[in-house]
């Protein structure tokens, strides 16, 4: 072969390297056939419009939130409460009749239960007999009052016996009447712990009658600066989701919660650390706003309240909404 042909052969070998054994091409170190080119992010009119819309929405929401927060004082440290009348017996006896059920609505004067009256009926009969005897003695002595046959001392003693017998009869009749226990007010029966056959003692708790409903919200002392009586309040109850009730501020507690605690703090001793105190605020329900939910509003429910500081004062139409049947 001529010498002039050798360089051309070497150049062809460099331009066309021999394939690997097995007929596969060489791969890069990462196992790929080669790095793919990265796409550069490009702003398009649609993307720019989306970013602008999202930013405007965020600004609007933030603006509404700031405006609402500046015009309202809110707290979730709140709960419903009401008058809870504890029912107890004024005499000792066995329950012979129970006329109510759990959670039943009762009216003032309705009979709740009756005790066995036998022992007290005997006491009334005994007191009645003593009263009649003392009355007869007094009438006889009173007829002889101006005669010399009766002294003033005997007359006063007989009159005193008559008065004592009269009081004893009245007391025995009262004890008998206490065997019938009636509802002191309108409301729902709750926490019933008595049943037929139980022996009850004087002062023992038998049940409770729940009357009326309102909200107690414990606001921080730093939130009370612009709060006033009769300011409208938006009330949400956890037990009734999706429903907002209305009502005004009725009153502020005469002291913070810690002031009425069993062991109030003594800030004059030791190192002082300032702690923001909370003041209970009584909030009433507007009767119209809870008309359909009176049965579901019971004491002890968790509540969130928001006081509208800029709205005009609005007194409630009636003192406290009544729990209805």
Indicate if 189 and 218 belong to the same structural domain. Answer: no
Strands (E), the chain: 72-88, 93-98, 105-106, 111-115, 180-182, 187-190, 199-200, 205-220, 232-237, 244-252, 278-283, 302-308
Residue 179 lies in a domain: yes
DSSP 3-state assignment of 156?
helix
Domain count across the chain: 2
What mean pLDDT value characterizes the chain?
84
We report the CATH number of the domain holding residue 218 as 2.40.30.170
CA–CA dist 242, 305 (Å, integer): 14
Domain interval for residue 280:
73-82+210-308
Indicate if 230 and 140 belong to the same structural domain. Answer: no
pLDDT for res 33: 53
Greater model confidence, 60 or 165: 165
Residue 232 lies in a domain: yes
Please tell me the pTM assigned to this model: 0.70
Choice among 44-48, 98-102, 242-246 with the minimum mean pLDDT: 44-48
pLDDT for res 323: 58
pLDDT for res 37: 66
pLDDT digits (tens, 9 = 90+) for 201-228: 999 999 999 988 999 999 999 999 999 9
Choice among 3-17, 56-70, 108-122, 298-312 with the minimum mean pLDDT: 3-17
Choice among 15-24, 86-95, 262-271 with the minimum mean pLDDT: 15-24
Indicate if 274 and 258 belong to the same structural domain. Answer: yes
pLDDT digits (tens, 9 = 90+) for 91-145: 999 999 999 999 999 999 999 999 999 999 999 999 999 999 999 999 888 887 7
Nearest residue to 108 via CA among 185, 188, 27: 185
pLDDT for res 197: 92
Indicate if 242 and 280 belong to the same structural domain. Answer: yes
Domain edge (last residue) among 188, 206, 224: 206
Residue 23 lies in a domain: no
Residue 17 lies in a domain: no
Indicate if 174 and 269 belong to the same structural domain. Answer: no
Sign of CA dihedral 93, 94, 98, 100: positive
Indicate if 302 and 163 belong to the same structural domain. Answer: no
Identify whether the C-beta of residue 297 lies closer than 8 Å to the C-beta of residue 74: no
pLDDT for res 27: 47
pLDDT digits (tens, 9 = 90+) for 176-195: 999 999 999 999 999 999 99
CA–CA dist 324, 212 (Å, integer): 9
What phi and psi, each to the nearest 5 degrees, are found at residue 153?
Answer: -65, -45
Indicate if 77 and 215 belong to the same structural domain. Answer: yes
Indicate if 265 and 166 belong to the same structural domain. Answer: no
């Amino acid at each position: 072969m001529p010498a002039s042909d050798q360089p051309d052969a070497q150049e062809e070998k460099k331009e066309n390297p021999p394939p690997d054994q097995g007929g596969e091409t060489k791969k890069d170190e990462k196992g790929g056939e080669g790095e793919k080119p990265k796409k550069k992010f490009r702003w398009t009119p649609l993307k720019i419009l989306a970013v602008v819309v999202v930013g405007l929405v965020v600004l609007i929401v933030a603006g509404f939130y700031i405006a609402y927060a500046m015009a309202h004082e809110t707290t979730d440290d709140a709960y419903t409460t009401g008058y809870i009348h504890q029912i107890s017996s004024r005499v000792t006896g066995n329950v012979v009749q129970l006329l109510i059920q759990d959670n039943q609505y009762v009216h003032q004067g309705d009979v709740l239960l009756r005790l066995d009256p036998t022992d007290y009926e005997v006491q009334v009969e005994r007191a009645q007999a003593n009263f009649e005897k003392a009355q007869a003695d007094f009438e006889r002595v009173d007829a002889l009052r101006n005669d010399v046959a009766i002294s003033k001392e005997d007359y006063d003693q007989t009159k005193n016996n008559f008065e004592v017998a009269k009081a004893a009869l009245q007391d025995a009749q009262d004890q008998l009447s206490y065997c019938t226990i009636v509802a002191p007010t309108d409301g729902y029966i709750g926490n019933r712990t008595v049943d037929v056959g139980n022996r009850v003692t004087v002062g023992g708790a038998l049940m409770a009658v729940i009357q009326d409903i309102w909200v107690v919200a414990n606001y921080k002392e730093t939130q009370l600066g612009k709060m006033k009586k009769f300011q409208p309040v938006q009330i949400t109850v956890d037990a009734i989701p999706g429903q907002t009730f209305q009502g005004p501020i009725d009153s502020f507690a005469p002291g913070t919660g810690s002031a009425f605690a069993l062991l109030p703090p003594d800030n004059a001793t030791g190192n002082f650390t300032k702690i923001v105190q909370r003041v209970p605020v009584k909030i009433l329900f507007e009767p119209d706003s809870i008309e359909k939910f009176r049965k579901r509003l019971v004491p002890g429910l968790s509540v969130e309240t928001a006081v509208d500081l800029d709205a005009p004062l609005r007194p409630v139409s009636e003192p406290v909404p009544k729990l209805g049947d």
